[in-house]
Amino acid sequence: MFSVFVKQLGDYFNRRWVLADFFPSLAFWVANLFFAITVIGLDTSLRLWKSLDASLQTIVIAAALASIAFFAFLLSNFNLALVRLFEGYWEDTPLLSWLAAIKRARHQQRWQKLKTDAERLAAEVQQLEKDAGNESAQRVVKEKREQEFRLSRERFLFYPPDSSAMMPTRLGNTLRAAEMYPFERYGMDSVVLWTRLSPLLPKESGEGIDDSRTAMDFMLNVSALAGFLGIAWGVYFVFVQQWFLVIVAALALLLARLAYGNALHAARAYGEVIKTCFDLYRWKLLDALHIPHPKTSKDEPPLWEKVSEFIYRGFPLQITYDAKAETSKQKDTKD
């Protein structure tokens, strides 16, 4: 029955919803059922279940699965809000605004330390390369170059290029780094242009984005639901002084922390896929808009700035359209 139910859900919804929303919701309510049975007692719970006839048991199971599916549907509609909460958009919440300021300052300090140490190591490497004349000195140069690479890599992957754009959480900084990458490299406003670029991506790239986003949403949902489960039942078990179950509830909090750590890895993969799409396929957007490609790298940022302002604010492009891409496409269709 359960496999048929899941298959029907997969046919009605999509794979991402089933993996990222339904299964975490199912696990959440199964865990709630486990804790409820421990409170009521296993013998009492079995006696109540056996007192129902077969048809009523089937109705109860069907109603439970339908309720879980509805809960998962609600959860999917709150995914964006949940991601923003984990990112650290807390300024509008008085109780969290002070925490956001503290955590943002810590990340800014870490960002500045990474930058300072990387620049210092790069200068040392340059000096050592001038003086390196033996195998021992070359080994020191290699070690320092590897250290500088690790520091620069951490700043590139997990922090935005400008410390003023720092977010309070590691997840927020990882996603902000991906969001600001197109503007830093090409002058592209990713928030405005991504919705225009994504329909033009090849199937493989679209699937990669969907898979990495599904993994991130799955882990964030697990983290949020496990955290709520552990806090709610943990407080109750402390109140009734059932200390063994307090430990079990604490394991849910541990799961929430581990899931958030895995969400960071998924967010990094998601961000790198987004960056890759802008690197490889931004010309497709110009072709779709019939805008000529820039001739040099210096011409690219001003062009994307004009395109972004045209889409977002309606400013005139003042660009001669290029119909070559459309003509070539029509020719290929005829052939």
- Write down the pLDDT at residue 271: 93
DSSP class of residue 294 equals P
Exposed, middle or buried, 63 (CB in 10 Å: 0-12/13-18/19+)? exposed
Entry pTM: 0.85
Report which of residues 115 and 93 the model is more confident about: 115
Neighbour tally for 90: CB within 10 Å? 22
Give the Cα-Cα-Cα angle 282, 163, 210 (nearest 5 degrees).
40
Which of these, 300, 317, 321, lies nearest to 182 by C-alpha position? 300
Say which amino acid occupies 221: N
Name the phi and psi angles at 189, rounded to 5.
-85, 100
Provide the percentage of residues in the chain whose pLDDT is more than 90: 56
Question: How many other CB atoms sit within 10 Å of the CB of residue 80?
Answer: 10
Looking at residue 312, its pLDDT comes to: 82
Condensed to tens digits (0 to 9), the pLDDT of residues 104-113 reads 999 999 999 9
CA distances (Å), 239 to each of 229, 242, 286, 287, in order? 15, 8, 63, 65
Here the tokens at position 142 are 């290699």
Which is it for the CA torsion 254, 260, 263, 264, positive or negative? negative
How confident is the prediction for the chain on average, in pLDDT?
87
Q: List alpha helices for 78-93, DSSP H.
A: 79-87
In the chain, the N- to C-terminal Cα span, in Å, equals 51
What's the full length of the chain, in residues? Answer: 335
User: Hey, where are the domains in the chain?
Assistant: 1-77, 91-168, 283-334
Dihedrals phi, psi of 298, to nearest 5 degrees: -70, -25
Contact 187, 300 (CB under 8 A): yes
Q: What is the mean pLDDT of residues 302-317?
A: 85
2, two tokens: 């359960």
* Span 30-55, average pLDDT: 91
Which residue's entry shows tokens 């957007």?
Answer: 285
Could you tell me if 171 and 264 are in contact, meaning their C-beta atoms sit under 8 angstroms apart? yes
pLDDT tens-digit readout, 149-168: 999 899 988 999 988 999 99
Please tell me the predicted confidence (pLDDT) of residue 9: 53
Check: CB of residue 251 under 8 Å from CB of residue 54: no
**For residues 134 and 1, what is the distance between their CA atoms, to the nearest angstrom?**
72
